[in-house]
Every structure is written in structure tokens, then in C-alpha cells.
């Protein structure tokens, strides 16, 4: 893929004299916008630019968790994204009960939407019985 070219700045001198007054009025706003977009697409996109957030949440599993999938006190999470969530991805799982014991598989988070700014975690697959985990979750808005 080719690299994005730096945008050419609008300059009133590049236009006929009859249009220069109009160009000088819109050039500043257009030039600032074009430069911001160019910078964003040239490697400066960050978490703050996207409709997502990273949160940490404590999850406790029961004695038969690997069989029944029941969480102790399933958490509710207040969201700070611009729209309802499209999905939740577990990006880290630390076993607080026994730090030397890891999750069985990649944790998959299932949840229900309570309202547009709140979700309730229903289940997290791949965790161990009778353990407390600190999960780092990426919540992606649509």
C-alpha cells in the first residue's frame, strides 16, 4: 500500500483575485483539518482517538466453574464509550488467588447490555475453579 501524501495547503495566492477573500476565510479551517487527518493516518492513532476503552475487573469463579460456568457476583460495568458496545475482548487475565496458575484457555467474555452505558458480565470462559482473576478488558464500541 502506498504511503499517504502530505496534504497541499490551501493558499489564497493560488486562486484568482476574485476568490482570494473567500479562500482566506476557509483555508485556515481546511488546512488544520487536513493536517490533523494526515497526522492521524500517519501513525498517530491512539486509544483516545477510537471508540473503545480498557478497563480492569475482578472476577470470582465457583467450585464447579469449569463445569457450570457460574461466576460469583457477576460484575456490572459502567462504560465510557460513545456508543453501545460491539464486543468485549479479554486482553489479560491474572490469577489473583494463585499467580502461578494461568487461565485454561483464552478467556471469552459473554455479557448482556443493561442500557447503552452499562453491561453485565454473564460468563468468562477459560478460567479455573475457585479462583479470583483480574481481567483487563478491551471494550469496543460500534
Q: What residue spans define the domains of the chain?
A: 9-45, 47-141
Q: What is the pLDDT of residues 72-100, one digit of tens each?
A: 889 999 999 988 899 999 999 999 998 88
Residue 39 has a pLDDT of: 81
Low-confidence ranges of the chain (pLDDT < 70): 1-2, 44-49
Residue 46 has a pLDDT of: 66
Burial state string for 36-71 with b = 16 or more CB within 10 A and e = fewer than 16: eeeeeeeeeeeeeeeebbeeebebbbeeebeeeeeb
Residue 49 has a pLDDT of: 67
CA dist list (Å): 131 to 66, 74, 93, 106, 120: 11, 14, 12, 16, 19
Amino acid at each position: 500500500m502506498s504511503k499517504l501524501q502530505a496534504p497541499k495547503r490551501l493558499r489564497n495566492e493560488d486562486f484568482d483575485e476574485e476568490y482570494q477573500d473567500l479562500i482566506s476565510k476557509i483555508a485556515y479551517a481546511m488546512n488544520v483539518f487536513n493536517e490533523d487527518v494526515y497526522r492521524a493516518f500517519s501513525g498517530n492513532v491512539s486509544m483516545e482517538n477510537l471508540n473503545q476503552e480498557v478497563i480492569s475487573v475482578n472476577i470470582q469463579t465457583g467450585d464447579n466453574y469449569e463445569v457450570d460456568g457460574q461466576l460469583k457476583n457477576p460484575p456490572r460495568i459502567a462504560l465510557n464509550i460513545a456508543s453501545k458496545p460491539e464486543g468485549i475482548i479479554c486482553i489479560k487475565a491474572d490469577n489473583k488467588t494463585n499467580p502461578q496458575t494461568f487461565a485454561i484457555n483464552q478467556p471469552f467474555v459473554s455479557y448482556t447490555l443493561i442500557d447503552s452505558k452499562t453491561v453485565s458480565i454473564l460468563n468468562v470462559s477459560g478460567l479455573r475453579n475457585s479462583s479470583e482473576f483480574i481481567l483487563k478488558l478491551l471494550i469496543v464500541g460500534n
